[in-house]
Chains A and B, each alone.
Chain A
Amino acid sequence: ETAVFQTPNYHVTQVGNEVSFNCKQTLGHDTMYWYKQDSKKLLKIMFSYNNKQLIVNETVPRRFSPQSSDKAHLNLRIKSVEPEDSAVYLCASSPGQISNERLFFGHGTKLSVL
């Protein structure tokens, strides 16, 4: 049963455009995350966020930014996309404070940058 919802499922755009992906969780969890999965299926964390703390993976380019209105929502904005941003972006949530120990994932948003 899906409890972490992501939109859109797919997005095709051109280099330099801005995109925004939405994520909502109905699990009542305190912490949400964004992961990037590359073409080799490797999963890398991008952001961890709860209402007290934002942890940014230092390898994430500055054109990426998380946006949250409340603890149930964490959107991902990419300002001026690059070809290497083509990937699947997975949103997740976990109970408690930031520890990313026990994750529940959405179905992902596949981004293709032309």
Chain B
Amino acid sequence: GMPVEQNPPALSLYEGADSGLRCNFSTTMKSVQWFQQNHRGRLITLFYLAQGTKENGRLKSTFNSKERYSTLHIKDAQLEDSGTYFCAAHNYAQGLTFGLGTRVSVFP
């Protein structure tokens, strides 16, 4: 299977809702990054994690290398959160591998 499986492929939210995205890894990864790709196409770095949990405003991300997954949680979704979210996981054998993305649409 894919080294990085990202779910769900698409997510629709109303403003103010909370939701989560997940990446599962087929092998042990050393670190993970989360990106948001906005409507202009730019990939904005959200988080870099080698372990544990990080928070930034309404976003929170967790990386569990042993259990082979990472999550991104969006709290109180806003219209500007719309975009495609990518996780990318790194190990020295495979380098950096991207998931296929989760397309998030936030509605008023």
Contact = CB atoms under 8 A, between A and B. Distances in A.
A88 B41 contact: yes
A92 B43 CA distance: 10
Interface stretch (A41-49, A60-68, A70-78): A41-49
Interface of A: 2, 40-43, 45, 88, 90, 92, 99-108, 110
Q: Is the interface of B mostly helix, strand, loop or mixed?
A: strand
Contacts, number: 47
B42 interface: yes
Interface stretch (B16-24, B63-71, B73-81, B83-91): B83-91
Contacts of B61: none
Given A43-B86, A92-B43, A103-B33, 12 more contacts: A41-B37, A41-B101, A45-B95, A101-B30, A101-B31, A102-B31, A102-B48, A103-B88, A105-B42, A107-B40, A107-B41, A108-B41
Interface of B: 30-31, 33, 35, 37, 40-45, 48, 84, 86, 88, 90, 92, 95-96, 98, 100-101
Given A42-B98, A42-B100, A105-B45, A100 B40 contact: no
